[in-house]
Amino acid sequence: MKYSDLISITEQFGAPVYVYDSEKITSQYKRLTNAFKGVGNLRLNYAAKALSNISILRLMNSLGSGLDTVSIQEVKLGLMAGFAPESIIYTPNGVSLEEIEEAAALGVQINIDNLSVLEQFGSKHPDVPVCIRINPHVMAGGNSNISVGHIDSKFGISIHQIPHLLRIVELTKMNINGIHMHTGSDILDIDVFLYASEILFETAKNFKNLQFIDFGSGFKVPYKTGDIETNIEELGKKLTKRFNDFCADYGKELTLAFEPGKFLVSEAGYFLAKVNVVKQTTSTVFASVDSGFNHLIRPMLYGAQHQIVNISNPSGRERYYSVVGYICETDTFGNNRRINEIQEGDILAFKNAGAYCFTMASNYNSRYRPAEVLWHEGSAHLIRERETFDDIIKNQVDLKDLFIQKHSQVVVK
């Protein structure tokens, strides 16, 4: 997309606004499928939690993607977006047995990550195919906040609990059709990921009726110029060979599954915000935008660095700015960043805003969540309307009459 296109979108739909480029999403999907073209059966299950707008889900479905979900609500969104139940995998954490049963009744693939629920579900529904999420105790990501394969993680069944797991499967006679792992986001070292994969292969040998092995995802994308990223092509070459060799030894061609989220949508997203105030202090120049961590919390929550560009003055002289928001908290998007000279009214673009950005937005300070726009084949399409005050109050119950009555009684006395 051109910066002029982004400016036009703010003129048409206002700011702040999220914009997603369908061409970039499509190219990332093709890049990943090409990297694993040597696998007979490949399934990419898009991680809905990264960006769950129904129009994005429909785009993924049109590309041939499956869907990775973590809640019954995401399952229902996927079905509404046209995904077949069998192309949806449901991988919750810490939910009730009742929610898992509800998902199973919808016909989606169940993925269970703890022994207690595995035993309960297997005892009641031994004929329902179940995938098991294993914790390999390998942290392939670079940030402990988003790495979920380490030994203290709440996710997955520990590899040290495999004997217990096998006893449950034997007693319940349940149908285990898949093995799954997820080491975390921002995979930096392919060899570490491949090491975790070997643990998954060893675990898979315990089950004779598998249909797929799911290696999770967490592929790192570049967040700034010169930033490192997961070498998908190298991973594809190495893991494809190892997977095909395993299938030959296993005696059956299995499906290799991934659940990419950030890799597919992160770089496709832009968050556009208008500068309200340029404030000079004795040591800092602040650019305050009409947004805050209610719209984009990743810099404050994870220390994520989103490149910030002044698309209203892309060729202007660079100065140092601290970009901050309008929330009554410390909501700093970037400290002392080199950005082309900013004036009040300029539009700043936050890059890599496609994954875990809008989906983590809130109404803190009673602010409205922004609009979302899909840029598709050269045109802008509104895919979520900007919230209004009616949206803020529509689910609230106003006890006005109750408190007026109590006040009146006090006055009478």
The two tokens of residue 246 are: 């395993």
The two tokens of residue 67 are: 């869907």
Whole-angstrom CA distances from 167 to 70, 170, 206, 274 are 27, 5, 11, 59
Rounded CA separation 56/161 (Å):
38
To the query of whether residue 131 is one of the catalytic residues in this protein, the response is no
Kindly report each contact of residues 321-325 with a partner whose C-beta sits within 8 Å and lies 24 or more positions away, as own/partner: 321/285, 321/286, 321/287, 322/284, 322/285, 322/286, 322/287, 323/286, 323/287, 323/289, 323/348, 324/286, 324/287, 324/288, 324/289, 325/288, 325/289, 325/291, 325/292, 325/293, 325/294, 325/295
Rounded CA separation 157/283 (Å):
51
Q: What angle do CA 375, 380, 381 make, to 5 degrees?
A: 95
Rounded CA separation 209/187 (Å):
30
The two tokens of residue 20 are: 């997603």
Active-site residue identified among 131, 247, 328, 357: 328
Identity of the amino acid at 345: G
Residues noted as catalytic = 328
